[in-house]
Amino acid sequence: MSLYLGIDTSNYTTSVALYDSISGEMFQKKRLLPVREGQLGLRQSDAVFHHTKQLPELVEALCSEYTGSLSAIGVSVKPRLVEGSYMPCFLCGEGLARALSAFTGAQMYTTSHQAGHIFAALYSAHKEEYIRSPFIAFHVSGGTTDCLLCSPDKENIINITEVATSLDLKAGQAVDRVGLMLGLKFPCGRQLEELALKSSRTYKIKPVLKGMDCSLSGVENKCMKMKNDGESIEDIALFCLMYIYETIKAMLLSAIAEYGDIPVVFAGGVMSNSIIREKILSCHDAVFAHPQYSCDNASGLALYAKVKKEMVMF
């Protein structure tokens, strides 16, 4: 087998993946970082501790099932491919990748967590050819609500330019804050979706945009008011998700008006939500990552290593 290893140590999940370029199969192991009940995430020192403990266990589990020589290693070393982007938790994955590269001789290629999300979505949707021409990518998660213009790049495979973002609360933060408000456990995405699917309410929501950027801070306040007014948790959950949907839809339409009708890719944990996905697909032809490739994972890094090595060879 021609194997490519991907490693990602985000602020939410420890993940490793092996991509077999011959069969096209992706094998992955991942584990959420443990968060105390009632908390909205982890301090970086705690994230580093848990990655240090979980990463060897996941690599051992992966290697016990799939063996072969490594062709290259892809690892995320920062949140985004911009100057000053940094989080200590990514040092855990980078350190392991450097050690494996030195020991095995497999070339190590570094990129961002955000690029990993985009590549995971492309793999999941069988749209790797998108890297050859411009496309729009949405990265919507706990730390980002970004609309990105992606174009071919010799150094990074794709050049990622942020064209719109949330000016305050991120979509994933909104989901988790509202979820905790309703008594759910962090991370709250899947539980909030289950509640929302039980609601039959319809809402007319006007998103808040400033240019192409959005503001999501109002959704938390409105959901709190709904709770204080005695509305059901199912209706509040649906309102939260519909608010996010209308916001992303407005950003998407603005991006298409600006850059033309080019391919659109959705990545990030929030975009695994079936309600938001189906609503977007009802109004625009877009590509979504399968849920297992939407949330934090290392699959995109494994694919990145494969494509990067091929670019270097040719």
Average pLDDT over residues 163-169: 97
Question: Check: CATH 3.40.710.10 for 3-125+296-313?
Answer: no
Delimit the CATH 3.30.420.40 region(s) of the chain: 3-125+296-313, 171-288
Q: What is the pTM of this model?
A: 0.95
Other beta carbons within 10 angstroms of residue 175's beta carbon come to: 29
In DSSP notation, 135-182 reads: EEEEEESSS-EEEEEEEEETTTEEEEEEEE-BSSS-HHHHHHHHHHHT
Confidence band of 313 (pLDDT split at 50, 70, 90): low
- Nearest CA among 31, 50, 32 for reference residue 185: 32
pLDDT category of residue 37 using cuts at 50, 70 and 90: confident
CATH of domain 171-288: 3.30.420.40
Convert the pLDDT of each residue in 201-254 to its tens digit.
Answer: 999 999 999 999 999 999 999 999 999 999 999 999 999 999 999 999 999 999
Q: What is the mean pLDDT of the segment spanning 101-121?
A: 97
Indicate the residue type of 222: K
Give pLDDT, residue 66: 85
Greatest Cα pair distance, the chain, in angstroms, is 63
Instruction: List, for residues 171-202, the tens digit of each pLDDT value.
Output: 999 999 999 999 999 999 999 999 999 999 99
